[in-house]
Structure 1
Amino acid sequence: MRWLLNVGKRGMKMIKIDLITGFLGAGKTTFLKKYAKYLLDKGERICIIENDFGAINVDMVILQDIASDNCNLEMIVGGDGREAHQRRLKTKLIAMGMNGYDRVIIEPSGIFDLDEFFDVLYEEPLDRWYEIDNVIAIVDSKLEKDITRESRYLLMSEAASAGTIILSKLESISDPDIEFTEQRIKSLMEEFKCSRVIKEEDFIAVPIECLDDNAFNQIVKSGYNKASYPKEGISEKEGFQTIFYFDYSSDAEKLIENVRNALKNEECGKVHRIKGFVQTGADTKVEINATRQELSVKDVESDRTVLIIIGEQLNKDAIKKYFGEPSL
């Protein structure tokens, strides 16, 4: 009977599809690498689609080391409106549906309308090829307390649809802090009049690096929720924005100083995340990943350098003081 439920209208075995959501810098890519290895070890043939709101995707480079004959990496980029972005997602899924994957995993940017995911998969022919399996939300346990209403709405919508909510960045976090984060997620359901009731068992509070097969066995069976709540639009003009610097180079110490200053300078707007690959010397490049809570810099090999700034109501003139004229 289970096999019959997994078969499309033409008798073809349906492809499972997972969505990994999470706010900017929450740790989605770190989780995805562990999750993909678990699935590959189980013998699944998978495709990962990096689905980015911006015009270029840095996480594709980070994921290159898990690419193999049984793990394909694909990319969709935005930058020219949500309708065009949605069409490209549908087109990509149609193309991937022909390739015999057991599972497709979509990792969107932290700026993603969950309705887009559900709406696309309910359309023909995708409704005949794919079955939604799991929605997994990664939530930063160190998420700052003062975030905008649009950010709270996005966080609510991601948690509301998730079968499992994984708390990330648990280093130096106490049990009361974890309880505070869990309660905060629950309170968002009330703030936005969401029908979802979050329970204690919906959370996994284990460092991502420590997730074992028992945890993944639970995650892969967690499913998803189609909660209802009043829809709120996200303004592309006044809301989330992305600024790009292609072929970017900087002295390493100066780079760190400028990143820290841009994150805390309110004149720059609400900068949520700065990430990318930067040329720091004739033969050296670094990967930088920064939020207000933490900053990571490590040596890396990359064919291209690009710096990406993501935030709300970004002020390009103020940001230029730190990084120069943006490319896009």
Structure 2
Amino acid sequence: MTNICIVSGFLGAGKTTFIKKLLKVFNPSYRVVVLENEFGEEGIDGEVIKEEGYDVIELEQGCICCSLKINFLKAVQDIILKFNPSYIIIEPTGLGVLSEIIKVIECKELKEMCKITSLITIIDGLNYEDELEAFGDFFQDQIKSANTLVVSKTLEISSETKKRIVNSLENINKDAGIIVKSWDEIENKQLFDLLNGKIKYKNIQLNKNIGDTIKNIRTVSIKCDKEISIKNLQEILEKLKIGYAGEIIRAKGFIRSYNCILHFNYVKGHYDIGKRKEDFLNNDLFKVCFIGKSLSIHKINILFNGAGKIKIKKILKLNRS
């Protein structure tokens, strides 16, 4: 029977980074497949994990807890039948309702094929308090449905903030284990124990309007044909911080630069930029993705492509049924 580990968390919390760390604990005898669900994000996180040499299956253009439920169920079935993996690590979109994803995995069609062994939610230490206030029941669902809560960006927050976060998390889910330390200090044995942890979650009864708090969020992805230097990319991201193209919650992408490829991550005004090998991507994968409210496609395109024709890859609006 295949073990299922779900790594949930809001947009930009650090799910992909944590999954890359989890993958390092497996020895070669384990067959591991990563199932990525990127809501309109053009497979950017999937490319990052593929670079590590792992099998990655991607489900795009929707969310596995609502519009892609059937696709998600079939994808899990197909992965098990094709690869017979020891583990499937599932990374839902940051807009996913974790309790609904659990219901899909526990349905009768999958009951004899797999079992959930770990439910991990990554908590963004820098933005936790703002996200809790802004996204209410939807955000709390990811916390209540997990058996382990792992706080990210702990080196960037004070001890007092850590205490407040822990107290808040304990009030929302008193049964969950909480890890609040630098991820470099988490030993491989502890990570492996997380993958095989005892499940302690309840059957969450959701408010039918749980999606209302995020109904105005949409995502835009565009191709980026222009070469951009690190300095120019920093200037672009600084413009995004002041609301030039709308309220951006999350942005990321691959950019062609001079003699290298730039990979950037942006979360609520905080960003980082990294370099990758020139042969990392083919030309079809130079793209940027934005998730937020009141997004201006025209202004985004001006920033990344100049004033030329807009090459829109995808525009999606989140709808809950």
TM-score w.r.t. the length of structure 2 is 0.83
Alignment partner, residue 103 of structure 1? 87
Identical columns (%):
20
Alignment partner, residue 211 of structure 1? 186
> Contact 2:2–2:80 at 8 Å: present in 1 too?
yes
The alpha-carbon distance between structure 1 residues 222 and 237, as it changes in their structure 2 partners (threshold 3 A), is closer
- Does 1:305 find its partner at 2:286? yes
- Does 1:140 find its partner at 2:124? yes
Matched residues in 1 for 2:193 and 2:269: separation? 29
Alignment partner, residue 294 of structure 1? 270
Matched residues in 1 for 2:10 and 2:241: separation? 16
Cα offsets for 1:48-79 (capped at 9, x unmatched): 11112215210111112332xxx422111124
Matched residues in 2 for 1:180 and 1:272: separation? 23
Cα offsets for 1:246-296 (capped at 9, x unmatched): 14434222222122221331x643311111100123x33201111235211
- Does 1:285 find its partner at 2:261? yes
Alignment partner, residue 217 of structure 2? 240
> Contact 1:278–1:306 at 8 Å: present in 2 too?
yes
> Contact 1:46–1:103 at 8 Å: present in 2 too?
yes
Matched residues in 2 for 1:212 and 1:245: separation? 39
TM-score w.r.t. the length of structure 1 is 0.81
Alignment partner, residue 248 of structure 2? 271
> Contact 1:30–1:208 at 8 Å: present in 2 too?
no
Matched residues in 1 for 2:65 and 2:151: separation? 29
Give the Å deviation of 1:153: 3.0
Alignment of 1:59-208 (within 5 A): 59-67=45-53, 71-79=54-62, 83-98=66-81, 99-143=83-127, 145-147=129-131, 151-186=135-170, 189=172, 197-198=173-174, 202-208=177-183
Q: Which runs of 5+ in 2 are unaligned?
A: 315-321
Matched residues in 2 for 1:237 and 1:186: separation? 24
SS in 2 for 1:307: strand
The alpha-carbon distance between structure 1 residues 245 and 239, as it changes in their structure 2 partners (threshold 3 A), is same
The higher relative CO (CA closer than 8 Å, separation ≥ 6) is in 2
The alpha-carbon distance between structure 1 residues 313 and 119, as it changes in their structure 2 partners (threshold 3 A), is farther
Q: Which runs of 5+ in 1 are unaligned?
A: 1-13, 190-196
Give the Å deviation of 1:209: 2.6
Give the Å deviation of 1:117: 1.3
The alpha-carbon distance between structure 1 residues 146 and 125, as it changes in their structure 2 partners (threshold 3 A), is closer
Give the Å deviation of 1:178: 0.6
The alpha-carbon distance between structure 1 residues 145 and 319, as it changes in their structure 2 partners (threshold 3 A), is farther
Matched residues in 1 for 2:140 and 2:64: separation? 23
The alpha-carbon distance between structure 1 residues 235 and 105, as it changes in their structure 2 partners (threshold 3 A), is same
- Structural RMSD (CA): 2.7
Give the Å deviation of 1:312: 3.2
**Farther off after superposition, 283-292 or 41-50:** 41-50
SS in 1 for 2:12: coil
Alignment of 1:50-61 (within 5 A): 50-54=36-40, 56-61=42-47
SS in 1 for 2:253: strand
> Contact 1:259–1:274 at 8 Å: present in 2 too?
no
Matched residues in 2 for 1:81 and 1:171: separation? 32
Alignment partner, residue 21 of structure 2? 34
| Aligned pair partner of 1:255 in 220, 227, 233 | 233
Matched residues in 2 for 1:241 and 1:95: separation? 30
> Contact 1:24–1:110 at 8 Å: present in 2 too?
yes
- Does 1:24 find its partner at 2:11? yes
SS in 1 for 2:24: helix
> Contact 1:150–1:234 at 8 Å: present in 2 too?
no
Matched residues in 2 for 1:109 and 1:80: separation? 7
Alignment partner, residue 48 of structure 1? 34
The alpha-carbon distance between structure 1 residues 263 and 215, as it changes in their structure 2 partners (threshold 3 A), is same
**Farther off after superposition, 271-280 or 238-247:** 238-247
Give the Å deviation of 1:132: 1.3
